Amino acid sequence: MKTCSRCGDAIIYCSCERTDPAWSSHPDLMENPSFWIYRGEAEVEWDRDGRVLFGDAELIAEIRSNLSGERQVVLHPGFSLWMVEHDPYAVHLIAQSIEGCTFSKSAPKWGKFSKPGRIY
């Protein structure tokens, strides 16, 4: 995994990914907009700049309890994610498995990663 030339963190998790020259040619990897997760009256925001969750403490705790921190294959063949709060796709995937959760239109789009016949 490539690291940020400024902070040394994994590029997709750092807060300066949008201005890092090492990834300026990959706008699809640099744009992870903030999105919201809803369940009943509960509302949680995954914040793009801090790459963390804010909002309803109970829903956040439920999401976090299902994030293992380990690398996990999420699409076959072989597309995997680090199951951490910093990764919007991991948060979205976990929240999708929680009954009653819905999402804002800015939630991660899986279409580019789930095309039939594509090898990741």
| Residue 35 · residue 88 · CB < 8 Å | yes
Identify the pLDDT of residue 31: 62
pLDDT in tens, the chain (120 residues): 677 777 777 766 666 655 656 555 555 545 678 999 999 999 999 998 778 899 999 999 999 999 998 888 887 666 788 899 988 999 999 999 999 999 999 998 877 766 666 554
Identify the pLDDT of residue 33: 84
Cβ neighbours, 10 Å, residue 11: 21
Tokens of 83: 């199951």
Identify the pLDDT of residue 65: 96
DSSP assignments along 35-102, one per residue: EEEEETTEEEEEETTTTEEEE-HHHHHHHHHT--SSEEEEETTTEEEE-STT-HHHHHHHHHTSTT-E
Taking only Cα atoms into account, the Rg of the chain, rounded to an integer number of angstroms, comes to: 15
Identify the pLDDT of residue 51: 81
Identify the pLDDT of residue 15: 64
Dihedral, 80, 70, 66, 78 alpha carbons, nearest 10: 20
| Residue 50 · residue 56 · CB < 8 Å | no
Q: How many residues in the chain?
A: 120
Give me the helix-helix angle, 88-96 and 57-65, nearest 10°.
100
Identify the pLDDT of residue 117: 62
Tell me the whole-structure pTM to 2 decimals: 0.73
Identify the pLDDT of residue 71: 86
